[in-house]
Amino acid sequence: MDKFLAVKTLLEVADAGGFSKAARRLGVATSSVTRLMDSLEASLGSALLTRTPRKVSLTDAGIAYVEQVGKVLDDLAEADESVFDSGASPVGSLRISVPSTFSRLRLAPHLAAFLADHPRVFLDVVVADNFLDLALERIDVAIRIGRLDRDPNLIARKLADNPRYVVASHGYLEQHGTPRTPQELADHECLRVAYGGGYRTRQMWTFDRDGEEERVEVRGRLLSNGLDILLEAVMAGRGIALLPEWQVSAEIRAGRLMRLFEDFDASPHQGDAVVYAAYLPNRRHSSKVRTLVQFLEARLQGALEG
């Protein structure tokens, strides 16, 4: 008995829910599938399938067996793909993680263009605002916004700068006044991005002009790790926010938001953040990874600077 063929056939039977349907998918006779499953069960000394006139399903032992051999087949497929992927032309599955708001506003069109340019690549996109474990989640490339030194065990490559603007609605400024200096923000309601601390965690906004830095402690009743929530709040006149240029530039151009302190570079207390790609060291020779990173580097720098 060809054990590898038997295992692949078992997976097909389990997915199809029957011998006949699995046989049609595999292009073989139903009797061949039945004999192969009988031989596999005999070699293991355990029933893997429950047979009824209507359906064939996995037994408890079959479920456990499929779970284990499925991992082996996945690893084998990944090993095969890594050989193909060492060539000049990218080919195969590429699993990436992306932050939700940034991917919706700036990344999605570029991913569509990447697929058009590379017809032999299959993209598996995971939307996640938290930093996933790349090895555990089998992520090939993570697109992240933060400091390049945050991931010392990963290879991190900058894709673009991430400038941020202090913005407020005209309604808020008419009601509460327009701060003329960054220090006056201490007297205003500030909508804050959550960076891992709670409501009472101190947050400093840093302003730099001509090499001179000043820091302002800001407070406010809304704290969120969701950028869309903060944008909706600032649009509704609930306060002043420090948000990425790529999120608010369209609202500023349309006159719905006003940018404050245009002469300053502004950032939250953790320091400069950039848009970057991160991947495991064992992916450094991957043609898919290299091609995607270079593609996004060219596309995003132009988009964010334009």
CATH of the structural domain 164-268, one choice from 3.30.230.10, 3.40.190.290, 3.30.300.30, 3.30.450.20 = 3.40.190.290
pTM across the whole model: 0.69
306: confidence class by pLDDT, cuts 50, 70, 90: very low
Q: Are 240 and 177 in contact (CB under 8 A)?
A: no
pLDDT over threshold 70, residue 114: yes
For the domain spanning 3-84, the CATH number is 1.10.10.10
| Span 242-290, pLDDT tens digits | 999 999 999 999 999 999 999 999 987 656 789 999 999 988 888 999 9
User: How far is the C-alpha of 169 from the C-alpha of 257, rounded, in Å?
Assistant: 5
Is it true that 3-84 and 164-268 share their CATH fold?
A: no
Q: Mean of the pLDDT values across residues 169-179?
A: 97
User: How far is the C-alpha of 70 from the C-alpha of 54, rounded, in Å?
Assistant: 25
More confident residue, 90 or 87: 90
And the tokens for 109?
């069109």
Q: Which residues pair with 240 in a beta bridge?
A: 190
Q: Is 92 helix (H, G, I), strand (E, B) or coil?
A: strand
Please state which architecture CATH assigns to domain 92-161+273-305: 3-Layer(aba) Sandwich (3.40)
How large is the greatest C-alpha to C-alpha distance in the chain, in angstroms? Answer: 83
Determine the angle formed by the axes of helices 245-253 and 227-235, rounding to 10 degrees.
20
pLDDT over threshold 50, residue 182: yes
Q: Mean of the pLDDT values across residues 28-35?
A: 92
Which residues are CB-contacts of 40 (< 8 A; sequence separation ≥ 6)?
1, 3, 6, 7, 10, 48
- What are the sequence ranges of the domains in the chain? 3-84, 92-161+273-305, 164-268
Give residue 270's Cα distance to chain centre: 22
| Span 206-225, pLDDT tens digits | 999 988 899 999 999 999 98
| Span 97-106, pLDDT tens digits | 999 999 999 9
Q: Can you give the pLDDT at residue 31? A: 92
Average pLDDT, the chain: 89
pLDDT over threshold 70, residue 138: yes
